[in-house]
Amino acid sequence: MTKGLSKINLTALTFGFAFLYLPIVLLVIYSFNASRLVTVWGGFSTKWYVELWNNQQLIDAALRSVQVGLVSATVATVLGTMAAIVLVRLGRFPGRTLFSGMIYAPLVMPDIITGLSMLLLFVAMDLSRGMFTLMLAHITFSMCYVAIVVQSRLLTFDRSLEEAALDLGCPPAKTFFVVTLPIILPAVISGWMLAFSLSIDDAVISQFATGPGASTLPIEIFSAVRRGVSPQMNAVCTILIAIVTSGVIIASIATKRAEVARMREERAAMAGR
């Protein structure tokens, strides 16, 4: 056994990270390019960010994305949590396999098919396409992700906690809100965040579900790029990356801190202090 990195490991690591991050690094670097041409370096500049600030169309699209994300993630979390509870708690009922299969199907369904079927449904129902249909579509595809996250938490949930609440005189519905939900809340929140980021990120299904005047940020970026790549898009993407990265870093630091504090308290308790 050798400690440290062997040559092979080092090479694998370099290639792996290069594959993952080279495109992103390039994108970030060129967002600060003074040149209008995406592939030619013309010196450092922040002018694309300034231009972005004045691009009302793009800002509107970003706000719309956040709006759709907030609404659809919230509704998807409620529905997904309910589905997870049914799957974990009801045990074996006729059609359980079919039901769970149907919840997971959207995970593997090509976006194109989901989007197209949404479009057909909306047309058949004579729903005018806009923000509302966009939210419906986002709820549909993000709900199953929430269901999976919450379900895995419920599987390890100690049922005797709920029994204890019932035993102490708390009716079942109230037990869910005062005992079960607070304990599984971290999973519900991460389900919400997953649903939110899926919604912000989606372009394909949104293309089908949206209508005039309701395009989201990914749709705007798509159509802008089709007209020719502008460094402005690099700037938008860099801002998105910054937001996501800082979110992840803050979340992981908070989790780590809570973990360390908990470990310390448990050790102290066991030592009899």
Partner 1 sequence: MAPKPAQKALGPIRRSFAPWLDPSAVPLIRFENVVKRFGDFTAVDDVSLDVHQREFFSLLGPSGCGKTTLMRMLAGFEHPTSGRITLAGEDLAGVPPYRRPVNMMFQSYALFPHMTVEQNVAFGLKQDGLPKPEIAARVAEMLRLVKLEPFAKRKPHQLSGGQRQRVALARSIAKRPKVLLLDEPLGALDKKLREETQFELMDLQMELGLTFLIVTHDQEEAMTVSDRIAVMDHGKLVQVATPGEIYEQPNCRYVADFIGNINLIEGTVESAGGGEVRVKGEDTPGAFVCAGDAALAQGSKVALAVRPEKMRVSLDAPPADATNVLQGEVWDLAYMGDWTVLLIKIDGSEKVLRVSRANMTRTEAKPIAWDDRVHVWFAPDAAVLLTS
> Contacting partner 1 (CB under 8 A), which of 103, 143, 165, 198?
165
Minimum distance from CB of 104 to partner 1 (Å)? 28
- Residue 94 or 212 with smaller CB distance to partner 1: 94
> Contacting partner 1 (CB under 8 A), which of 168, 213, 226, 227?
168
Judged by CB under 8 A, does residue 173 bind partner 1? Answer: no
Give the C-alpha separation, 80 to 148, whole Å.
8
Give the C-alpha separation, 116 to 121, whole Å.
9
Phi, psi values for residue 189, rounded to 5°? -65, -45
> Contacting partner 1 (CB under 8 A), which of 37, 105, 161, 253?
161
Minimum distance from CB of 176 to partner 1 (Å)? 13
- Residue 124 or 269 with smaller CB distance to partner 1: 269
Give the C-alpha separation, 107 to 129, whole Å.
24
Q: 133 burial class (0-12, 13-18, 19+ CB within 10 angstroms)?
A: buried
Judged by CB under 8 A, does residue 163 bind partner 1? Answer: yes
**Residues of span 233-272 touching partner 1 by CB under 8 A:** 262, 265-266, 268-270, 272
Q: Hey, which residues does 44 pair with through a beta bridge? A: 33
- Residue 47 or 89 with smaller CB distance to partner 1: 89
| Helices 131-155/111-124 angle, 10° precision | 130
Dihedral angle of Cα 213, 215, 220, 223, to the nearest 10 degrees? -80
> Contacting partner 1 (CB under 8 A), which of 85, 166, 237, 240?
166
Stretch in the footprint of partner 1 (CB under 8 A) among 11-19, 92-100, 144-152, 161-169: 161-169
Minimum distance from CB of 158 to partner 1 (Å)? 6
Stretch in the footprint of partner 1 (CB under 8 A) among 4-12, 75-83, 171-179, 232-240: 171-179
- Residue 125 or 173 with smaller CB distance to partner 1: 173
Element (H, E) at 32: none
Element (H, E) at 2: none
> Contacting partner 1 (CB under 8 A), which of 43, 169, 213, 228?
169
Minimum distance from CB of 272 to partner 1 (Å)? 6
Judged by CB under 8 A, does residue 42 bind partner 1? Answer: no
C-alpha closest to that of 230 among 68, 20, 57: 57
Q: What radius of gyration, in Å, describes the C-alpha atoms of the chain?
A: 24
- Name residue, tokens 């600060």: 32
**Residues of span 140-159 touching partner 1 by CB under 8 A:** 158
C-alpha closest to that of 195 among 128, 140, 131: 140
What is the maximum span of the chain, computed from C-alpha positions, in angstroms? 72
Residues lying near partner 1 in the complex (CB under 8 A) are found at 158, 160-161, 163-172, 179, 182-183, 262, 265-266, 268-270, 272
